[in-house]
Amino acid sequence: MKRSRNAGIRPLRSRSASSLSPIGKLERLLEYSRKNFAERHLDDLLPEMASQTRILLDADRCSIFILDKSRKVLWSRIAHGTKATLTIPLTKGIAAETVKTGRVQNIRDAYRDPRFNRDVDRDTGYRTRTILSAPMKNLQGEVLGVFQVLNKRGTISFGPEDEKILAVITGQAAVAVENAQLYDQVREAVSDTILRLSAAAECKDRDTGRHILRMSRVSAVIAEALDCPKTFSDNILLASPMHDIGKLGVSDAILSKPGRLTEEEIREMRKHTIYGGRILKGSSNEIIQMSERIALCHHEKFDGSGYPRGLAGKEIPLEARITALADVFDALTNRRAYKDAYSLDESLKMIRDGAGSHFDPKVVDAFFSRLDDILACSGPDSAEVSAEPYPAGIMDPV
């Protein structure tokens, strides 16, 4: 069973808010706040916020809209009652009015308000009666989006107390959205830096450029299949491209040599794991730390016959065990300077045969459990098949 990524957020009981005292509602908001600030992923946080807001305000539905300034639209990150993404222009509708004024809009009869956009009801088949709409603002007072609840239950419309509660919730939501956006920006910057550093190896090894993109995606899919935490899967996507960064320390003549390497050249090539570990050593950043472990250990083998340290089993970091399989699979299915691409059937057989010796059997099982997704994100550069027998050491992409 796949682990819930918002396991740290315990849903509030779906008891009607109308039965709660003011103190009871305050207690719920405080509990809610503590749990929300611990969650960094909007995909987990916002659905929970929407559901609990609907409970607290005795509303039928809740929607959370994010502002896209460049396109001048609001788009629904969450919209109860529909799986479709709703896109609303900033020229009409109560949500657009909320952005324009920067103030709460409490609409007691939607169809009698000329600002109400009936298009959404027509498209979804819903009948909106009452609306409470509040802007999500960052610390600079800029509107990031809109939090909207529809159709108050049991009473004619939303009241002043509902407005105050929604104001508190939108304040939390705005902080969460802004923090998540900043977090994403930092990760994008880290990702860009990693890819640029990894691509530096492409200047020396022509196989590396597209390879690092393919194998990083495969690594992330395998991590998901192993039910790793989302943070781990996200990090391995960024960290695995650095697995061969140590090739910057290897001679151009060896990297670009067509055909087989001599024993001496193989020994030198294998030092790229040590070089990579040295390059990445000492960082306080968790992604670079993972990159260091991958660079140093991605040629270790599950039975202890790998290099550079001869680690075995769980002595090898999980991220390195995952990257090892992704690296080999991509090397097999794509042309390299020393070989043509192998067929998919041949490659898969070699992966299966390597379970327990080269690869962690659990990682192999995870690989095959998501094979369709892996094939979709690892399209080979060449469909050519080598007619030669498997050369010795082909499972060791140096």
Rounded to a whole number, what is the distance in angstroms from the first to the last CA of the chain?
36
Q: Which two tokens stand for residue 394?
A: 């082909």
Nearest residue to 117 (alpha-carbon basis) of 134, 98, 92, 96: 92
State yes or no: cis peptide before 308, omega within 30 of 0. yes
- What beta strand segments (E) does 43-195 contain? 59-68, 73-79, 87-89, 105-107, 131-137, 143-152
Residue with tokens 């993972």: 290
Confirm if 57 and 165 have CB atoms less than 8 A apart: yes
Residue with tokens 């001869």: 310
Name the pairing type of β-strands 87-89 and 105-107.
Answer: unpaired
For 381, other C-beta atoms within 10 Å of its C-beta total: 15
Which amino acid, 397? P
Q: Which two tokens stand for residue 213?
A: 């993109």
Active-site residues, by number, are 247
Q: Which two tokens stand for residue 397?
A: 């992409």
Confirm if 110 and 131 have CB atoms less than 8 A apart: yes
Taking the C-alpha atoms of residue 279 and residue 206, their distance in angstroms, rounded to an integer, is: 21
